[in-house]
């Protein structure tokens, strides 16, 4: 008898590539991963993609197809000890697959513990990550793995999964389920197959009648009452980080700390929060208080070393500092304006005085001829035209209205007079 306590998403998990939905660029006919699985020539792999798109399932299919022992660890709850135990077991077996979910949460020493076994072929590593592996996986380990990018599931793929669950699951197929509307289910899923099936099952279980007609209104009524308040991969993930950043931008430390607490309680990755603080320090504070970027960078480094629960204190300190700091988006606007102009004007000719002249030929062509070395002049300044001729006098940086940038405006006016309109 099959266990009805197993969640629907697990009960309907594909057992082979024929049942697998999505990722045709990897497992479709003649595609790279399909061929590798068929030939049994599986390299160590990093699967990079959003939640619920098949990373764990593909790892299990690879192991089953290759008739290999499958070990699964979560980087949240496992460390070097657990990794070494699997490696020791794999040595006795000859070869095995070690799947590590959320491998981006492993620190350097934990990732280092994998290196020798991967290089020797003792284990075939399959890591799953929602973060860019270029930033989160050490280069030595990354160089020994193939990185495959998994794409969000399409609407058609999600509907295919819904209908498969309705018609093939040993519990649901015995119920009279009518999928009259599916938009709410798809929206609440956020493209995550596991979340889609869990919400679907939750709604179905809310009915006592034999006939179950699912509409958008019913889904929203039942699902939103019972679903967790925070899903770090779903819609509220983006709503909370948006409210958090807007509270910092709006100089409200109380609201900012509240939204920070919501994210911490929901299990949000502290490095994700720290990265957003780094962006805010430059985008929303910038030259009004350059120290904000230094503190945000120190916060990111500290969070990377500590993790929860201590990281919450550092995140809170940085959040309060940024929220109470003077604000300026002048640097942000400057680069946006400059990039837009570059798109419009292309590669304009750089003034000869500004060009590098490492060879005699370049010197003969007057490269760098009229350049004036600023340090040779009083106040370390002399007026030159640094921009291409076509955009001479173009202003990108407009200082913000705050004490520090008001002083910068006076300085720029002193240097450049009326040239840039300061």
* CATH classification of the domain holding 289: 1.20.272.10
Are 55 and 136 within 8 A, CB to CB?
no
Residue 174: inside a domain: yes
Residue 3: inside a domain: no
Closest CA to 323 of 243, 401, 405: 243
Q: Which residue has the tokens 């018609």?
A: 167
- pLDDT (0 to 100) of residue 229: 43
Are 277 and 323 within 8 A, CB to CB?
no
Q: Which residue has the tokens 């300044």?
A: 381
Asked if pLDDT for residue 226 goes beyond 60, the answer is no
Round to whole Å and give the CA distance between 148 and 54: 12
Which of 149, 170, 204 is the last residue in one of the domains?
149
Closest CA to 191 of 225, 161, 169: 161
Are 201 and 214 within 8 A, CB to CB?
no
110 with 28, same domain: the answer is: yes
Round to whole Å and give the CA distance between 401 and 387: 26
Residue 13: inside a domain: no
Which of 149, 179, 209 is the last residue in one of the domains?
149
Q: How far is CA 19 from CA 62, 282, 411, 412, in A?
A: 13, 47, 67, 65
49 with 161, same domain: the answer is: no
Asked if pLDDT for residue 80 goes beyond 50, the answer is yes
Residue 333: inside a domain: no
- DSSP E strands in 137-279: the ranges are 146-149, 176-179, 211-214
Q: 83-115, pLDDT tens digit by residue?
A: 888 888 888 877 888 898 888 878 777 888 888
* CATH number of domain containing 113: 3.40.50.300
Asked if pLDDT for residue 143 goes beyond 60, the answer is yes
Round to whole Å and give the CA distance between 76 and 264: 15
- pLDDT (0 to 100) of residue 362: 62
- Longest Cα–Cα distance of the chain, Å, equals 90
42 with 160, same domain: the answer is: no
Q: 41-52, pLDDT tens digit by residue?
A: 888 889 988 888
352 with 395, same domain: the answer is: yes
Which of 87, 121, 149 is the last residue in one of the domains?
149
Asked if pLDDT for residue 391 goes beyond 50, the answer is yes
Round to whole Å and give the CA distance between 239 and 246: 10
Residue 53: inside a domain: yes
Residue 276: inside a domain: yes
261 with 195, same domain: the answer is: no
Closest CA to 280 of 254, 311, 242: 242
58 with 107, same domain: the answer is: yes
What pTM was estimated for this model as a whole? 0.55
Q: For residue 94, what are its two tokens? A: 């000859």
Asked if pLDDT for residue 193 goes beyond 70, the answer is yes
Q: How far is CA 125 from CA 86, 149, 329, in A?
A: 11, 16, 44
- pLDDT (0 to 100) of residue 236: 61
- pLDDT (0 to 100) of residue 1: 42
What domain range is 354 assigned to?
A: 346-416
112 with 55, same domain: the answer is: yes
Query: What's the number of domains the chain is made of?
Result: 4
Residue 11: inside a domain: no
pLDDT averaged over every residue in the chain: 84
Are 1 and 173 within 8 A, CB to CB?
no
Q: How far is CA 231 from CA 190, 261, 363, in A?
A: 10, 14, 62
* CATH number of domain containing 207: 1.10.8
pLDDT category at 230 given cuts 50, 70, 90 is very low
100 with 167, same domain: the answer is: no
Asked if pLDDT for residue 124 goes beyond 60, the answer is yes
285 with 198, same domain: the answer is: no
pLDDT category at 5 given cuts 50, 70, 90 is confident
- pLDDT (0 to 100) of residue 118: 86
Percent of the chain exceeding pLDDT 90 equals: 20
Closest CA to 199 of 5, 3, 8: 8
- pLDDT (0 to 100) of residue 286: 92
Q: How far is CA 95 from CA 46, 80, 336, in A?
A: 18, 19, 52
Mean per-residue pLDDT, 138-165:
88
Round to whole Å and give the CA distance between 161 and 116: 39
Each residue of 371-393: b (16+ CB within 10 Å) or e? eeeeeeeeeeeeeeeeeeeeeee
pLDDT category at 301 given cuts 50, 70, 90 is very high
Residue 378: inside a domain: yes
Asked if pLDDT for residue 228 goes beyond 50, the answer is no
Q: 319-341, pLDDT tens digit by residue?
A: 999 999 999 999 999 999 998 88
142 with 174, same domain: the answer is: no
Asked if pLDDT for residue 403 goes beyond 80, the answer is yes
Asked if pLDDT for residue 360 goes beyond 50, the answer is yes
Round to whole Å and give the CA distance between 217 and 2: 32
Residue 73 host element (H or E): strand 69-74
pLDDT category at 224 given cuts 50, 70, 90 is low
């Amino acid at each position: 008898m099959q266990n009805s306590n197993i969640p629907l998403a697990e009960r309907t998990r594909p057992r082979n590539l024929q049942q697998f939905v999505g990722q045709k660029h990897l497992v479709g006919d003649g595609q790279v991963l399909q061929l590798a699985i068929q030939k049994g020539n599986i390299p160590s792999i990093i699967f990079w993609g959003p939640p619920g798109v098949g990373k764990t399932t593909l790892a299990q299919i690879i192991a089953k197809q290759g008739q290999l022992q499958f070990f699964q660890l979560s980087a949240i709850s496992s460390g070097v000890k657990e990794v070494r135990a699997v490696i020791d077991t794999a040595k006795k077996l000859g070869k095995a697959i070690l799947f590590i979910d959320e491998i981006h949460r492993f620190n350097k020493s934990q990732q280092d513990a994998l290196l020798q076994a991967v290089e020797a072929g003792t284990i075939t590593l399959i890591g799953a990550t929602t973060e860019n592996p270029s930033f989160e996986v050490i280069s030595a380990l990354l160089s020994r793995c193939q990185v495959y990018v998994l794409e969000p599931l399409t609407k058609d793929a999600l509907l295919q999964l819904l209908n498969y669950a309705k018609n093939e699951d040993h519990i649901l197929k015995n119920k009279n389920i009518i999928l009259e509307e599916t938009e709410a289910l798809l929206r609440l899923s956020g493209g995550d197959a596991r979340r889609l099936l869990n919400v679907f099952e939750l709604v179905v279980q809310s009915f006592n009648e034999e006939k179950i007609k699912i509409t958008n209104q019913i889904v929203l009524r039942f699902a939103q009452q019972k679903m967790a308040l925070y899903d770090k991969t779903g819609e509220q993930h983006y709503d909370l980080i948006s409210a958090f950043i807007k509270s910092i931008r709006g100089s409200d430390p109380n609201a900012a700390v509240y939204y920070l607490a919501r994210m911490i309680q929901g299990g949000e990755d502290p490095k994700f929060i720290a990265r957003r603080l780094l962006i805010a320090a430059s985008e929303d504070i910038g030259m009004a208080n350059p120290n904000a970027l230094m503190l945000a960078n120190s916060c990111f480094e500290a969070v990377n070393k500590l993790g929860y629960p201590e990281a919450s204190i550092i995140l809170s300190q940085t959040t309060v500092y940024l929220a109470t700091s003077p604000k300026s988006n002048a640097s942000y606007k400057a680069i946006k304006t400059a990039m837009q102009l570059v798109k419009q004007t292309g590669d304009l000719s750089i003034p000869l005085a500004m060009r590098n002249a490492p060879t005699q030929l370049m010197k003969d062509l007057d490269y760098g001829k009229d350049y004036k070395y600023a340090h040779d002049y009083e106040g370390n300044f002399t007026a030159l035209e640094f921009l291409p001729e076509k955009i001479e006098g173009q202003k990108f940086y407009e200082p913000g209205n705050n004490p520090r940038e008001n002083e910068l405006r006076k300085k720029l006016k002193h240097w450049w007079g009326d040239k840039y309109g300061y």
